[in-house]
Amino acid sequence: MNNKVLILGFDGAAMPLIEQWTDAGELPYFAQIMKNGSWGLLRSTPNFGSASAWPSFYTGLNPGRHNMFDFLYREVDTYNMRWTTKRRFAGNPFWKIASEQGIRSAIINMPVTYPAEPFDGIQVAGWMTPKTSSPGFTFPPQLAKEIVKSVGKHIFAPSVKAEINRGNYAGAVDSMRKTFEYKLALSAYLMDKYPVDLFSTAWIAADQASHYFWHLIDPRHPKHDPEMARKFGGAMLDVYKMADKAAQKLHRKFGGTLIIMSDHGHGANPLGEPHLKSLLKQTGFLKMKGDENEHGSAFSRLVGKSFDALQGILGRPVKRFLIANFPGLLNFALTHQNLADVDWSRTSVYTVAEPTLNLQGREPQGIVPPSQREPLLKQIEKILYSVKDTRTGEKAVEKIYRKEQVYHGEYLDNVPDLLIIWNPNIVVENLELKFNGRRIITEPHYNDYRTGNHRPNGIFFIQGDGVKPGFKSGAPGIIDLCPTILHLCGCAIPDNLDGRFLDEFFTPEFMENNPPRYFASSAEDSQMPDYSTPEEKEAAQKKLRDLGYL
């Protein structure tokens, strides 16, 4: 078989949109792959978050084993909040496994890959890189200057949120176009300059367009504006058309087996999560220090609002100076935005994004005995299944999972106890609940201006030697791509992965002549200490805010 593999990641790309626009003749290369190759949905990680899904794609491990769940995590033995970095995740990405078996790779702009590390090949780290002069932006290090000289000033991600906040939708569209074109030019340049067996690159434009333009393509959305839709509703299609053309250009240039994937899909933003903290407060599970009104203490309100305001006022050099000279400032502000006001001596359940018990023996000031975990979780689940949206009257929660139902591994203690799947068919105005004889109406803890948000199924397309033509599959998992990519490169697969080789996409003849090979992986899942510099933490925080994740 041809062992060359090209992987194109379109963060947040949604299959319903591709099917709609392919049927309309707008995406001819996707249509060609559907005819000559195989395709289908791709099941994301249980919380369908980018911070967990991309590492699962790279490593073939579920988040309970690679330790990446969200962009924020609670520091062990404290209630302090920290930013997630690549250093935190355990397991080996497929390009390192392939490198050990003689396969040379190019890994370009893939999310959650900063800092770049040595292997047989080249790497340009993803959008959480502080700046192009940062150590770890590229491997080898000298590649950074070559990129700027040959392709131009590096663009990490489009400035969609900033432009939308200014009311400049045209500027947001232009930013997505320029960023997409730059990354296509970068990939084409590196593909010509550095011959490799495995080439993987990614774009974030589909994700950003979906987050901020969804209401313009969805007439049912409460914020749908027909006039704005007429002016800018085509921006989403334009991004997908750019993806279609990029796939054609790069596949013709590189050859080999083509894989197109996304880490999750998209739909209307249910907007339930911003109300969770208010719900826990008003039902008495989350207790605050001092002033016990809905919004917490005046001090933390001041810190949180000041922090948000300074994000939009101060320039990056000033913010970098503050973080570098006052290294505790960022984590101080993060903690006060989330957990600093909590009275842990009276709190049984808290949240950053999902409900988490203040459990004895796990949390530093836990008050919930392990024997009470089960009845307390049942009580919280009953409340969540009862809440309704005030605008529509519909139930706001579709499904709740216990963490042990959907994750496994040595890092299970780092996961919130419950995972809420909000009703994807509504956009929450406020949550309403009858509780202990009184009517509770929540208010959002923060304003989430994204009209679109993640859905559990991304996209998967594959075309190449031995691939079934015209085959539409069910929904394999994102963890299955790592072993599949390794086999297509001619590599043996570690026998300790959670993912599997996707044999259903290949012809019987191919499978008979090319059975997967496995090797016993004796190495334990390794994790680097998270020694992020203040500059890296500040940069990660800013970029996550710019993209709307915070």
Predicted confidence (pLDDT) per residue in 235-255, tens digit: 999 999 999 999 999 999 999
Report the mean per-residue pLDDT for the chain. 89
Query: CB within 8 A of 158, min separation 6: which ones?
Result: 172, 175, 176, 178, 179, 180, 204, 205, 208
Q: Where do the domains of the chain lie?
A: 5-268+452-546, 273-441
Average pLDDT in the 97-101 region? 98
pLDDT confidence band for 312 (50 / 70 / 90): very low
Average pLDDT in the 216-242 region? 98
CATH number of 5-268+452-546: 3.40.720.10
29-86 residue pLDDT tens: 999 999 999 999 999 999 999 999 999 999 999 999 999 999 888 888 899 888 777 7
Structure tokens at 198: 């495995």
Nearest to 525 by CA among 97, 105, 100: 97
pLDDT confidence band for 545 (50 / 70 / 90): low
pLDDT confidence band for 336 (50 / 70 / 90): very low
Q: For residues 479 and 498, is the Cβ–Cβ distance under 8 A?
A: yes
Judging by beta carbons within 10 Å of its beta carbon (0-12, 13-18, 19+), is residue 234 exposed, middle or buried? middle
Instruction: Answer whether the bond into residue 424 is a cis peptide, omega within 30°.
Output: no
